[in-house]
Structures are given as structure tokens and as C-alpha cells.
Structure 1
Amino acid sequence: MPEFLNILNLDAHYGDFQALYGITLHVDPGEVIAIIGANGAGKSTLMRSVSGLMKDGAEAIRFQGQKIGALRADQVAARGIALVPEGRQLFPSLSVEENLILGGQLGRKGPWSLKRIYDLFPILEERRHQPSTSLSGGQQQMVAIGRALMANPDLVMMDEISLGLAPVIIKQIYEALPGIVGQGMAAIIVEQDISKALSVSRRVYCLQEGRVSLEGASNSVSREEISRAYFGV
């Protein structure tokens, strides 16, 4: 299988504090993997490292055969990696549609357009002229996902997409995932809801205190194994 995303012995620091220790993982083309773990396990730090927001991984991160760990976030995005950040981070002064259009500024070719985003999330078309932060939390999450898809990435990373949302909204977003990754796009789903993570992924990695504590096929790891890896007991 061709090389896609490979991370080998990634460390990451916030000043003197070390957040990741020797993380090694890979994503194959078109594959969905899940990253699980408790608060503070290093999940978001890992996403920040891959997306170019942290600079520890200059030699540790390769994407489609090229080292990307030293690239700026905009350069990583231009290579085909898009991040749906924890907390959504929409531009409050812009409308829903303006936020989505910003996601397509790199001009990468691919299947995602405003029309396709609106087909995926019809409520966004209804509210396209509203300020993005006037929407509900779930609708803002849809905007954040749509903005990432507008970049037509080869790999989309979704960091805690269900955090703080009502169960009915979480269900809607996860029902949309097959339509997002069904055309060859790979995805990393960072999620605290273990059942959701396992249901949509092919493989799962569990992080515990900045280290990989479990790796396996999502349909074969046991809850006992996950519990041990999650809590370190």
C-alpha cells in the first residue's frame, strides 16, 4: 500500500512540559482511524503537531512520502491535510457562507463545493447569511466540518467533534461521516465517546499520558483492553 501518513517517534513540548512521548502511528489512504483517550492524554497535541501548529516533529511526520513536520500550518493544508479544531474556532465576524468560502481559498481541486456542503448539511444553506457564531453549537460544528472539506483535503482530522453537543446533533454529524469519507478521503477522528469512535473507524489508537497505550482493529479490541489502556490500570 502506498505511503500516506506516517508518524515515527514523535515528541512534543509546551515549553519545558513534554506532552507526547515517542508517538508512532500511521494512516493508510482512504482509512478512518480513531484516537481515544482521557482529557490531557495528548490527543489535541497530536492533531496540532500533524497540522503544523507545533514544531517538534520536523523529522517525525511524513505525508505522502514527504517530511512535513517543519512546515507552517498553511503549507500543511496546501499539501492536503485539513483540521476541524476542537472548539470549532469559526470567524465570528463572518457569515456561515463566508466561513465556508475561506476553507476553499487554497484552490485545491476536488469534489467539495458550497453546493455539496449544503447538500450534506441543509440547515447551513438556510442560514448561510447569518453570523456563524449565532448558530447553535451543533450547527457551528457543521460549519467547521464544511470549512475543512472545502479545502478538498486528502486527510481530514476531526478533533472532539461531539464535545458538548446534544445526542441528536451528534447522531446527525456521525450519520454524515460516510458521505464525507466515502470517496477515498482518509480521516482521523479524535473522540472521547468510545462507542462512536469504534463504530466509524477501521483502527483505533488509545493515548495515555502522551504515549500510545493501545493499537488495534476497532472491531476486535475489547472493552477490557480499552479500559486498561485508557486509565492505565
Structure 2
Amino acid sequence: MPEPILKISKLSAHYGDFQALYGVDMEVAEGEVLAIIGANGAGKTTLLRSLSGLMSNEAGQITYRGQAIGALRADQVAALGIALVPEGRQLFPSLTVEENLMIGGRVNRAGPWNLHKVYDLFPILQERRGQASTSLSGGQQQMVAIGRALMSNPDLILFDEISLGLAPIIIKDIYAALPGIVGGGMSAVIVEQDITKALSVSSRVYCLQEGRVSLEGGSATVSREEISRAYFGIA
């Protein structure tokens, strides 16, 4: 396997007195698409919030390209090349589609992604570029959220519940765009409720169950029985 771009070592995370992650160990290889599955409340979003700097952790629990980043702020993490597509899109409602995209570009990282390339990936956004982001459909808003992340020219992109609340035809369009996103060697972590979709686009999969890794394996080789046991905590 290629050298890991990201290493997570004994990562624990808390919301006040509530512990959401318990000693999680993971790796993401250079150019790899990794899937993370698990039931609601398993800790998936907490994991991505930790990786993107939205939650502060011990510095050495998360290492990116050999640098301890667990205690960095979100803007510092983004400047290093990690971008998050958050659950629920979280667009700026007072800004247009294009203005939301330009926010991602303010990281000022060199790379191939710019407005022209984002519009090539999602042509509907160019048509709607002057509209308020909240006037778009849910699927179009997800495209804006993805485009905003790409505008920062990340080396690692994190997708939190990429298909949540979207119509099946829109989910198909979003996943059809994925090869064009990661085809240049970008690494990706995809948190996804649709297990079949998650396995179809990833090389490896981790399952979280109550804040712990309950399964790790190759997406093409793990069985549905193994996934069911890991997902629901069945002995």
C-alpha cells in the first residue's frame, strides 16, 4: 500500500463530559479513497470534525504528511491541504453560488482547481452562479459545498454524509463526478450511510461502532455478514 498521507493514533474526542471517540486508529494512503460507515451516533462526524480542525485534540493523535496537526485550528488545517465537505452543506446563505465557491479559494493553495474547473465539473453551478446559494435544490447545494472544498486545492478531501437527504438521481450524479475529483491523485475519506455506494467507490473501509473501530478491511473483500456484525455490534 502507498505511504499514508494521514495517520490517526489512539484518537479520543469529547463533547464536554460525553466521550464520542475511544482510541481510534486509522490510516489514509496517498491517492486512496477510504470509506467510513457506521450507524447514527457511531462517531463518524466527530472523526471528520477532528481531522479538519473543528475539534481540538492532542497534537500527536493526528499526523498529516508527518506533521502533528491534532491541535491545529481549522484554517491552519485547510492551509496544509485538508478540506471538509460538511454534513448539511453549511453554505453561506447571504452569498451567491459563486461567492460561496470563492470562499474556498481564499486558502490560496496552488493547484488545478479554480472556478472554471468547478464549473466544468458541475455545469449547473455556472448557470446559477449569481443566485443565492439557498435558492438551489439540495443536490445543487451539495455541488456548491463540494466545489467550495475543491477551490482550496486540497490533497485530502473529507466528505461527511455526501448523499444525505438527496434524491437517488442526484446521488448518482454526485458519485459520477467523484472520479473527476480524485482522478488527479487526491486522497478522499467518504462518510456514507449507503453502504453499497461507500464500498463501490473506495479501496478500504472502516466501520465505527459506538466510537470505536469495529471493522477494517478491503472494500471488495469484506462480507456483508462482517459488516452487519461490525455495524450493529453483534457478537
Runs of 5+ unmatched residues, structure 1: none
**CA-CA distance at 1:168 after TM superposition:** 0.2
Question: In structure 2, what is the equivalent of residue 202 of structure 1?
Answer: 203
Runs of 5+ unmatched residues, structure 2: none
Q: Which amino acid aligns with 1:222?
A: S
Question: In structure 1, what is the equivalent of residue 90 of structure 2?
Answer: 89
Question: In structure 1, what is the equivalent of residue 66 of structure 2?
Answer: 65
Question: In structure 1, what is the equivalent of residue 31 of structure 2?
Answer: 30
Structure 1 runs of 4+ aligned residues shifted over 3 Å read: none
**TM-score using structure 2 length:** 0.98
Q: Is this contact kept in 2: 1:12–1:57, CA < 8 A?
A: no
Percent of counterpart pairs with the same letter?
75
Which whole-Å deviations, capped at 9, do the CAs of 1:32-73 have from their partners, x for residues lacking one? 000000000000000000001111232200000000001000
Q: Which amino acid aligns with 2:15?
A: Y
Q: Is this contact kept in 2: 1:161–1:191, CA < 8 A?
A: yes
For residues 3 and 130 of structure 1, what CA distance do their matches in structure 2 show?
40
Q: How does 1:108-123 map to 2 (within 5 A)?
A: 108-123=109-124
Instruction: Name the SS of the counterpart of 1:53 in structure 2.
Output: coil
**CA-CA distance at 1:184 after TM superposition:** 0.6
**TM-score using structure 1 length:** 0.99
Question: In structure 2, what is the equivalent of residue 148 of structure 1?
Answer: 149
Q: How does 1:127-142 map to 2 (within 5 A)?
A: 127-142=128-143
For residues 188 and 162 of structure 2, what CA distance do their matches in structure 1 show?
13
Which whole-Å deviations, capped at 9, do the CAs of 1:120-178 have from their partners, x for residues lacking one? 00000000000001000000000000000000000000000100000000000000000
For residues 185 and 32 of structure 2, what CA distance do their matches in structure 1 show?
8
For residues 24 and 224 of structure 1, what CA distance do their matches in structure 2 show?
23
Q: Is this contact kept in 2: 1:95–1:129, CA < 8 A?
A: yes
Measured on the aligned residues, the alpha-carbon RMSD in Å equals: 0.6
